[in-house]
Structure 1
Amino acid sequence: MSGDRAAPLGLLVMAYGTPRTPEDVEAYYTHIRRGRPPTPELLADLTARYDAIGGISPLAALTEAQRAALADALEARQPGRWKVVLGQKHAAPFIEDGVAELAAAGVHDMVGLVLAPHYSGFSVGQYQQRAADAGDEHAMALHRIDRWHLLPAYLDFLAAAVTDARASLPADHKVLFTAHSLPERVLEGDPYPDELRQTAAAVAERVGLSPWPEWALAWQSAGRTPEPWRGPDVLEVIRDLAATGRTDGVLVCAQGFTADHLEVLYDLDIEASGIAAEVGLAFARTRSLNAEPTVMAALADEVVRVAEAGLAP
């Protein structure tokens, strides 16, 4: 830490990234594949998915809205104190670009916040490590927010979203809390599955749902690699629920995602809802967090708390 309370403070808002135009899809996919261009078949499949949701994902605009909401909330709390920038994993501006922007603004201490509530070393841990490494190059201290899966405002948002979405379903329905699957090899000793269960349980308690009869965890959007990924996949769960004949509908709460993007708008709204229709189940999805003001304000409070703790003598 710099200990300089007169210097501006930085917030590095980190996100996965997304192509901004259809022309960016191939370069984006190549970056995800660590420099290996996708085969024509893989590229055509991804492009078709973007076409199905309107040509491109709204994630870039939504991520910027989240960054701006955090900046506004911090300005309201500590006017003129904060520089808030975006740094992404797979699209410009990259995490290193964001750190360089903070350094150019004279920032010595930055808070790293990933727009993902649940910690995994494979995801949030990698973001924070890249931020720390880039900060070292600029003699900048990083103060990390590694998880916010039990932030009360976030839990309240999810509970309200679940309650509202349930109203459209038959009385006999099941709530599935989903998140992005990860390879089994990286989940050995990783807190990600436990944190997802903690969030789901806290939301279910707020809503008044009983475990298994009324809610369960499921996984989605597994990568297309030969290694095993964590399941059960939400599509399999929907088929299994229909086969039992014990429910008339399914509600998916995509608790692991904080904005509308391909994994929500295609994998759930098109693919999962299509499976539900095929097997005769009513289907609904909870609204996404996006830049919901109450949660953004609560995250800003957490940013200030972490920064003050880091600057404390």
Structure 2
Amino acid sequence: MSDLRDPAPYDALLLLSFGGPEGPDDVVPFLENVTRDRGIPTERLKEVGQHYFLFGGVSPINDQNRALLDALRKDFADHALDLPVYWGNRNWAPYLTDTLREMTEAGHRRVAVLATSAYASYSGCRQYRENLADAIAALEAEGLRPPRVDKLRHYFNHPGFVRPMIEGVLASLAELPEEIRAGAHLAFTTHSVPTAAADTSGPEEEHGEGGAYVRQHLEVARLVAGAVRDETGIEHPWELVYQSRSGAPHIPWLEPDICDHLQTLHDTGAPAAVMVPIGFVSDHMEVLYDLDTEATAKAAELGLPVRRSATVGADPRFAAAVRDLLLERAASERGIDAERCALGTLGASHDLCPVGCCPARNRRPAAAGADSPYA
């Protein structure tokens, strides 16, 4: 095996995700995990849980992670990469601490971590790092010696993440009637976050209006829209919009909301729209409810033809991208320069989150960063 195909120093990969309920009885306990320490009453959680109850109390995210695990293991085997792949969640089984305990007991000493969030933000990066630190601390309190964990870099502009989304848009456009297809608008959607959190996302030098969170999403939207133009010869108007707001009304969050945007498109005479969920790795509940149910119903009310393009999910090209990220980081840890694949102008993201990157709401230890106590 050449130096650039060697996973050392890593002896395992951990897929780290959000988690979701897998039955009606799981919904409220899951939401209690998500909102822990916020003092939200159970009755309010039952109201929020109605989105899940519409789908039998089951979030699709866990099955989608199982499919991604299968894709990763197949890709690794096909490329003679002998590295076990584990899976742990922040908010539901398999819980991160339990998975990290299993990895510790199996003798793993250095673990690469892939989070199912492609962009810089507190909730999409640092919070995962805080959860890793919590799990490490819990295992140390049990007298165990957990492995070192290194989070792989943000992959929003990796071709293995972007190309499947481009093809998803092309497929959705092809589903629209030919007479309205050329005028269809592209609505690139991602999870809304408080503007204060967006403004401080990414390293300190990238802080400002929207921070790295907005900048990275705009880059992906430009990449996808540009590729669609190049492959169809048609310049489709596009905008970055937001969905899934969940905060108090008096706190500013990123706007416009997807439903408000659909109203604007209708009012200004747009003939059709394609909703492109670039902020999501797979079709989990925010996609299934907020886009496929709520936004689609809004479009039907308006008489605006819409389609929703596919997320990356377990696409083999995404699995190959994860292998690429892993081997790139492994080479770097061994002091070898390796090609860092990235489309567009922003370049490849940092390996190690610097001090001040996506600062915490409340100061807490975080693993896999320059400020980590677990280096």
CA distance in 1, matches of 2:335, 2:151: 15
Question: Against the structure 1 CA distance between its residues 283 and 129, is the aligned structure 2 distance closer, same or farther, given a 3 Å change threshold?
Answer: same
Does the Cα contact within 8 Å between 1:53 and 1:266 map onto a contact in 2?
Answer: no
CA distance in 2, matches of 1:28, 1:106: 30
Does the Cα contact within 8 Å between 1:119 and 1:146 map onto a contact in 2?
Answer: no
> Following TM superposition, by how much is the alpha carbon of 1:22 offset from its aligned partner in structure 2, in angstroms?
1.0
CA distance in 2, matches of 1:142, 1:199: 28
Does the Cα contact within 8 Å between 2:27 and 2:57 map onto a contact in 1?
Answer: no
| Paired residue secondary structure (1:113) | strand
Residue in structure 2 matching 1:275, options 298, 309, 332: 298
Provide, for residues 187-224 of structure 1, a one-character-per-residue CA deviation record: whole Å limited to 9, x for no partner: 12311111111111111111118999611100000114
For 1:49-128, list aligned pairs within 5 A.
49-79=51-81, 81-128=82-129
Residue in structure 1 matching 2:225, options 204, 213, 223: 204
| Paired residue secondary structure (1:203) | helix
CA distance in 2, matches of 1:193, 1:256: 10
Does the Cα contact within 8 Å between 1:125 and 1:146 map onto a contact in 2?
Answer: no
Supply the AA of the counterpart residue of 1:121: Y
Aligned to 2:262: 238
Question: Against the structure 1 CA distance between its residues 113 and 142, is the aligned structure 2 distance closer, same or farther, given a 3 Å change threshold?
Answer: same
> Following TM superposition, by how much is the alpha carbon of 1:142 offset from its aligned partner in structure 2, in angstroms?
2.2
Aligned to 1:305: 328
Q: Which runs of 5+ in 2 are unaligned?
A: 1-6, 202-211, 337-375
| Paired residue secondary structure (1:146) | coil
> Following TM superposition, by how much is the alpha carbon of 1:7 offset from its aligned partner in structure 2, in angstroms?
7.9
CA distance in 2, matches of 1:7, 1:309: 10
CA distance in 2, matches of 1:206, 1:168: 18
Provide, for residues 87-115 of structure 1, a one-character-per-residue CA deviation record: whole Å limited to 9, x for no partner: 21211222222222221111111111111
Q: Which runs of 5+ in 1 are unaligned?
A: none
Task: Verify: 1:250 aligned to 2:273, yes or no.
Answer: yes
| Paired residue secondary structure (1:12) | strand
> Following TM superposition, by how much is the alpha carbon of 1:256 offset from its aligned partner in structure 2, in angstroms?
0.8
Task: Verify: 1:19 aligned to 2:21, yes or no.
Answer: yes
> Following TM superposition, by how much is the alpha carbon of 1:19 offset from its aligned partner in structure 2, in angstroms?
0.8
Provide, for residues 103-129 of structure 1, a one-character-per-residue CA deviation record: whole Å limited to 9, x for no partner: 111111111111111121332122134
Task: Verify: 1:184 aligned to 2:195, yes or no.
Answer: yes
Does the Cα contact within 8 Å between 1:119 and 1:147 map onto a contact in 2?
Answer: yes
> Following TM superposition, by how much is the alpha carbon of 1:182 offset from its aligned partner in structure 2, in angstroms?
0.7
Task: Provide the aligned length of Structure 1 versus Structure 2.
Answer: 308
Aligned to 2:166: 159
Aligned to 1:148: 155
Does the Cα contact within 8 Å between 1:260 and 1:290 map onto a contact in 2?
Answer: yes
TM-score (norm 2): 0.75
CA distance in 2, matches of 1:272, 1:100: 41
Question: Against the structure 1 CA distance between its residues 27 and 212, is the aligned structure 2 distance closer, same or farther, given a 3 Å change threshold?
Answer: farther
| Paired residue secondary structure (1:13) | strand
| More strand, by proportion | 1
Provide, for residues 245-271 of structure 1, a one-character-per-residue CA deviation record: whole Å limited to 9, x for no partner: 2x1111100011111221111111110
Percent same amino acid at aligned positions?
Answer: 28
TM-score (norm 1): 0.89
Task: Verify: 1:290 aligned to 2:313, yes or no.
Answer: yes
